[in-house]
Amino acid sequence: MITTTNRLTRATWAISRLHARRTLTARVDMISNVLFGLLIAYALAFLWQALYSSNVVNSEVTVEQMITYAVLGSVATTVLQTNTVFWADWRIRSGDVIFDVLRPINWQLTLFGDYFGTVLAQFVAVGIPIVLLSALFLDFLAPASVLAGLLFIPSLFLGVVISFSIVFLILLLAFRFTQVGGIESAMRGFRPILTGALVPLWFFPDWLETSFCALPFPDIAFTPLAIYVGEIEGSDIWFAVLRQLGWVVALSALGAWLAHRGMRKLSVQGG
Amino acid sequence: MKRSIALQLAYIKIGFKSAIQYRVNFIGGVIGLLLHSLLAAVGGIVLIDRFGGVVGWELGQIMFMFGLTRIQSGFIYSVFRGVVRWEGQVREGWVDRYLVRPRGILAQASGADFDIAGLGPIIAGVGLIIYGVVLSPPDLTWWLVPWLLIVMVSGTMIQLAIVMVIGSSAFYNVRMGSATNAAERSQWQMNLFPASAYSTVVQTLVTIGLPWAFMAFYPAHLVYGVASDELFGEPVLYLAPVAGLAAFLIGAWSWRRGIRSYQGMGGV
Amino acid sequence: MTTEESSKTWVRANDLTREYRVQTDGLSTGRFGLGLFRREMRTVTAIDNISFSIDRGEAVGLVGLNGAGKSTLLKLITGVLVPTSGEVAVGGLNPSQNRSQVVSDIGVVFGHRSQLWWDAPLVDSMNVLKLIYSVDEDEYRQRLEQLSEILELGELIRRAPRQLSLGQRVRGEIMASLLHSPKLLILDEPTVGLDIIAKARIRNLIRTLVEEEDVTVILASHEVTDIERVCDRTILIDHGQILYDGTIEQLIATAGVERSLVLDVASEAGGTEGDVSVEQVTVPLTGEDAASRLIEAASAGTVSDARVTGGDLEVILARVFDRAEE
């Protein structure tokens, strides 16, 4: 049992490294992502400044917190976007997916390795430069508390896993409908809004905030970001991370079950 | 010219026929991109409502501007979709096939990958413009409609030019698919709010460097009878077509250079 | 080009050379991704100073191993690539300078790549190609009918490539490349991935086209049989140079391979009744006494089997390439 887990972890990590390296070789992609991510980070930071200075603000969140949130939100949107669905969708359509499925490692785990490796590379090569270059001229705050600082990273990681689980579910639609590129394109548009990366959920009217929170999306970016800036505090942090864990388990299990059914269909059709 | 239009129409027809083969993806694509524009608008509405306007612009006016930019993006997603995913086309060896045909590469590249999903943002854009007009009615003048049509064309050219400049790097065997996405993502986020809200530095950037502010922000001044922009004064309000043309020329130049270089140093 | 050029010449290359600058290490990012700023380039010569000419109506096979320069040569002829030095002309025009004029008269089939719309009926693809090549409506109708007859496509043109077998799809590709009645047809590995029957069918079709269409054909293939069946002339390239240019018969002669008849001759051997031994006798088919030797060998017993060896182009090419290696 331990050796199997060990083997799978190492295999997944090897796949992640491969995709991380692949991502890093795309220089134009990396540099443009830093530049466009910075543009959005600065633009939103200035927007918050403008909004806070020219209007009566009925919010307990400070402008510095909002600037920090804007920078991290831009990082989240930039870093979480990968081509995993497009590649895998093509492999399903062309029938090449059979090679992925025949490997002695779970297909879901293979794709997670792909997604995680890409996101990790983008986090290091794009996310961190955006944060550093933003902190240069903007009021970028440190984590709100020691606990927030400690739990921000695990919460972010769980956000990535939830994000992947949703990507995986979209991909599984491909077994039924053959092509899902269009749905993923639309998801790319939804992501900044639904995850709360562009506009934090506390600005939404209560009914909208409640309905968004019933979905897994805010736990991708909003939750870790709100923990960082201190809008989720104290024991609520633990509760939020536990809820993220809950989504991870539920969505992964759903994905695994549907994948299993999808594979059966694949073997019946003969690819 | 007539033949070129006939060719583009044939591309649209065959793209449409291909797309409806995958009905869920087809509907999902159109509805998805439609919902994306609307959802983005909701994000904007929530904020503007909360703060009671952004740097002097009302909700209706801002939605009107955002609607305009969504229609332009819709054209990019559909008619010029092939340029957007140019990296993939280069990788799949389409450049060679285009080069052995007696037509321009850009015309073939854009047509060959027509995607109906662009209809989504166009429908959403029309809806947002109507919403904006109802909330904040513009001055009704005889030149309103012609002006908006000009703006629509020049805004599409601005976006196309940016996609072309990034896309032409694919001719040098460079991966740039994610760069195009990043540009598109920044474009709609920036255009959700008036450019003057982003401070002097960023506003200058989206006026001169990436002229997104000409897609709707400056032209909308005229629509709402705003006399001049605080930063760039009055002339900038009329410059959308000039900006569109200039951007397109730069895009075409970089595209042409890319093709030349490809013919000179393509892969084995 | 030059005045002394024969009016029959359609494709001509003079001292054609093509080099590439390639990155030595594509995937390495170096430690900590520092390779982001590192680039090492070197020059590779894909086509090395070659000259040849092809007449109108000729069918020429282009043979070479992987990386020999076949594809590069085809790209130079079609104007996709510009030569590093030397010149190439198609119908007297420089293809990269008069791209749109030259390619109007060229049809290309890439065996590995499709020019058809995967999810739309074949006839829709043809309709787009009609507009791309500015083919007249009447001419188009006539042509479509004629080609679907020659290529035996019939009702298949109402189907999408997605629903066709590979062999049918290749016929669709050939149709697409001939729709505008090109004077030059370039086929790059047209039979790749096909089964034997489909291959034979495609070869016969191409041969028919060569005879009926008055089209100049350049066929690049790994598949020696393709060339043998379709082409009058073979150009062998290796490391970017022409190793041989001439007819296949001449090639067999120059390669120094003799054609021989191998006979399995059964004769009653030894004392025991019914004990048959089979002997293999090889009789060279060249020389003055070939006939008498053949009779002699055959009358030694009962001939149970006979086959010709040595004429195989496969073997000849292997020999020529081997020699070139040395």
> Model confidence over B224-259: pLDDT tens digits?
989 888 899 999 999 999 999 999 999 999 999 999
Q: Judge: A32–B183 Cβ closer than 8 Å, yes or no.
A: yes
Rounded to whole angstroms, the Cα distance separating A24 from C30 reads: 10
For residue B97, list chain C residues with Cβ-Cβ distance below 8 A.
108, 110, 113, 115
Of B97, B102, B268, the CB nearest to C46: B268
Average pLDDT score over chain A: 87
Question: How many domains is chain A partitioned into structurally?
Answer: 1
Write down the H helix ranges in chain C: 70-78, 99-103, 122-132, 137-150, 166-178, 196-213, 224-230, 248-254, 290-298, 313-325
Contact of C262 with C294, CB cutoff 8 Å? no
**pLDDT(C34) > 80:** no
Higher pLDDT among residues B248 and B92, named by residue: B248
Rounded to whole angstroms, the Cα distance separating C277 from C270 reads: 9
> Model confidence over A114-141: pLDDT tens digits?
999 999 999 999 999 999 999 999 999 9
pLDDT, position A130: 96
Distance from the Cα of C103 to chain B's closest Cα (Å) equals 5
Enumerate neighbours of A (3 or more CB pairs within 8 A).
B, C
pLDDT, position C302: 81
User: Chain B interface, mutation test: which of A74, A183, A187, A207, most B Cβ atoms within 10 Å?
Assistant: A183
Query: Which helix (H) or strand (E) element contains residue A235?
Result: helix A235-269
Q: Judge: C44–B268 Cβ closer than 8 Å, yes or no.
A: yes
At residue B200 the predicted structure's pLDDT band, cuts being 50, 70 and 90, is: very high
Residue in this structure with the two tokens 């956000």, named with its chain if needed = A159
Rounded to whole angstroms, the Cα distance separating B248 from B263 reads: 22
Average pLDDT score over chain B: 90
Asked if ipTM goes beyond 0.85, one says yes
For residue B54, list chain A residues with Cβ-Cβ distance below 8 A.
47, 50-51
Single out the residue of B235, B234, B190 nearest to residue B216, CA to CA.
B190
Which residue does chain A place closest to C33, by CA atoms? Answer: A24
Q: Judge: B99–C117 Cβ closer than 8 Å, yes or no.
A: no
Q: What is the CA radius of gyration of chain A?
A: 19
For residue B19, list chain C residues with Cβ-Cβ distance below 8 A.
119
Contact of A36 with B202, CB cutoff 8 Å? no
Helix axes C137-150, C122-132, angle to 10 degrees: 130
Q: What is the CA radius of gyration of chain C?
A: 25
pLDDT, position C61: 92
The token duo for B203 is 């506003």
Single out the residue of C66, C179, C169, C178 nearest to residue C113, CA to CA.
C169
Report for A175-179, C134-138, C227-231, C272-276: range of highest mean pLDDT = C134-138
> Model confidence over B174-183: pLDDT tens digits?
888 889 989 9
Rounded to whole angstroms, the Cα distance separating B133 from C145 reads: 55
Distance from the Cα of C33 to chain A's closest Cα (Å) equals 7
**pLDDT(C27) > 60:** no
Q: Judge: B14–C124 Cβ closer than 8 Å, yes or no.
A: yes
**pLDDT(C33) > 60:** no
Rounded to whole angstroms, the Cα distance separating A260 from A266 reads: 10
pLDDT, position A58: 65
First to last CA, chain C: 38
The token duo for A120 is 């990790």
Work out the burial of residue C162: count CB atoms within 10 Å of its CB; fewer than 13 is exposed, 13-18 middle, 19 or more buried: middle
For residue B47, list chain A residues with Cβ-Cβ distance below 8 A.
51, 199, 203
Single out the residue of A76, A72, A101, A78 nearest to residue A88, CA to CA.
A101
Rounded to whole angstroms, the Cα distance separating C164 from C174 reads: 14
pLDDT-above-90 percentage for chain B: 53
Q: Mean pLDDT across the stretch C233-252?
A: 86
Enumerate neighbours of C (3 or more CB pairs within 8 A).
A, B
**Residues facing residue C267 across a β-bridge:** C277
At residue C3 the predicted structure's pLDDT band, cuts being 50, 70 and 90, is: very low
Q: Does C32 touch chain A (CB under 8 A)?
A: no
For residue A54, list chain B residues with Cβ-Cβ distance below 8 A.
55
Question: How many domains is chain B partitioned into structurally?
Answer: 1
DSSP at C161: G
| Residue pairs spanning A and B at CB distance below 8 A | 162
Contact of B116 with B78, CB cutoff 8 Å? yes
Residue in this structure with the two tokens 């209560």, named with its chain if needed = A206
At residue C312 the predicted structure's pLDDT band, cuts being 50, 70 and 90, is: low
Q: Where are the beta strands (DSSP E) in C24-80?
A: 41-55, 59-63
Contact of A183 with A206, CB cutoff 8 Å? no
Q: Mean pLDDT across the stretch A153-173?
A: 92
Q: Which B residues in the span 128-187 are in contact with C, Cβ-Cβ below 8 Å?
A: none
Which residue does chain B place closest to C73, by CA atoms? Answer: B268
At residue C269 the predicted structure's pLDDT band, cuts being 50, 70 and 90, is: low
pLDDT-above-70 percentage for chain C: 85
Q: Which amino acid is at C55?
A: D
Rounded to whole angstroms, the Cα distance separating A158 from A154 reads: 6
**pLDDT(B33) > 90:** no
Rounded to whole angstroms, the Cα distance separating B77 from B92 reads: 20
pLDDT, position C21: 78
User: Chain C interface, mutation test: which of A18, A19, A22, A25, most C Cβ atoms within 10 Å?
Assistant: A25
Contact of C236 with C243, CB cutoff 8 Å? yes
Q: Which residues contact C149 (CB under 8 A, 6 or more apart)?
A: none
Q: Judge: C119–B17 Cβ closer than 8 Å, yes or no.
A: yes
Handedness of CA C124, C125, C127, C131 (dihedral sign): positive
pLDDT, position A268: 47
Phi (first) and psi of residue C86, to 5 degrees: 80, -175
Higher pLDDT among residues B127 and B89, named by residue: B127
b/e per residue C192-209 (b: at least 16 CB within 10 A): bebeeebbebbbebbeeb
Q: Mean pLDDT across the stretch B21-26?
A: 76
**pLDDT(C32) > 50:** no
**pLDDT(C321) > 80:** no
At residue B1 the predicted structure's pLDDT band, cuts being 50, 70 and 90, is: confident
Q: Does C33 touch chain A (CB under 8 A)?
A: yes
Share in percent of chain A as helix, strand, coil (round to 5): 80, 0, 20
For residue C29, list chain A residues with Cβ-Cβ distance below 8 A.
21, 24-25
Distance from the Cα of B140 to chain A's closest Cα (Å) equals 30
Give the number of other CB atoms < 10 A from CB of residue B172. Answer: 15
For residue A27, list chain C residues with Cβ-Cβ distance below 8 A.
36
For residue A136, list chain B residues with Cβ-Cβ distance below 8 A.
none
SS3 B140: coil
b/e per residue B45-67 (b: at least 16 CB within 10 A): bbbbebbebbbebbbbbbbbbbb
At residue A269 the predicted structure's pLDDT band, cuts being 50, 70 and 90, is: very low
Of C96, C117, C132, the CB nearest to B263: C96
The token duo for B137 is 């009615």
Report for B20-29, B96-105, B233-242: range of highest mean pLDDT = B233-242
Query: Which helix (H) or strand (E) element contains residue C268?
Result: strand C260-268
**pLDDT(C15) > 60:** yes
**pLDDT(C275) > 70:** no
At residue C51 the predicted structure's pLDDT band, cuts being 50, 70 and 90, is: very high
SS3 B92: coil
Rounded to whole angstroms, the Cα distance separating A175 from A258 reads: 10
Rounded to whole angstroms, the Cα distance separating B76 from B83 reads: 9
Q: Judge: B177–A29 Cβ closer than 8 Å, yes or no.
A: yes
Which residue does chain B place closest to A55, by CA atoms? Answer: B51
Residue in this structure with the two tokens 């993220």, named with its chain if needed = A244
Cα angle for residues B36, B42, B47 (degrees, 5° grid): 135
Query: Which helix (H) or strand (E) element contains residue A132?
Result: helix A128-137
Cα angle for residues A174, A176, A177 (degrees, 5° grid): 65
Of B19, B103, B265, the CB nearest to C132: B103
pLDDT-above-90 percentage for chain C: 30
pLDDT, position B131: 96
The full DSSP string for C78-108 is: HTSS--SEEEEEETTB-TTTSHHHHHTTEEE
**pLDDT(C234) > 70:** yes
At residue B30 the predicted structure's pLDDT band, cuts being 50, 70 and 90, is: confident
Which residue does chain C place closest to A28, by CA atoms? Answer: C36
Rounded to whole angstroms, the Cα distance separating C106 from C115 reads: 14
For residue A203, list chain B residues with Cβ-Cβ distance below 8 A.
46-47, 50
Rounded to whole angstroms, the Cα distance separating C307 from C314 reads: 16
Q: Does A81 touch chain B (CB under 8 A)?
A: yes
Q: What is the CA radius of gyration of chain B?
A: 19
Query: Which helix (H) or strand (E) element contains residue C308?
Result: strand C302-309
Enumerate neighbours of B (3 or more CB pairs within 8 A).
A, C
For residue B37, list chain A residues with Cβ-Cβ distance below 8 A.
189
Query: Which helix (H) or strand (E) element contains residue C262?
Result: strand C260-268
Average pLDDT score over chain C: 82
Q: Which domain holds residue A128?
A: 2-269
pLDDT, position C252: 72
pLDDT, position C248: 78
HSE toward the beta carbon, residue A81, CA cutoff 13 A: 29
Q: Does C86 touch chain A (CB under 8 A)?
A: no
Residue in this structure with the two tokens 């805010």, named with its chain if needed = A218
SS3 C30: coil
pLDDT, position C257: 64
pLDDT, position B266: 43
Report for A86-100, A243-257, C122-136: range of highest mean pLDDT = A243-257
* Maximal CA-CA distance, chain B: 60
Distance from the Cα of A215 to chain C's closest Cα (Å) equals 36
Rounded to whole angstroms, the Cα distance separating A256 from A101 reads: 13
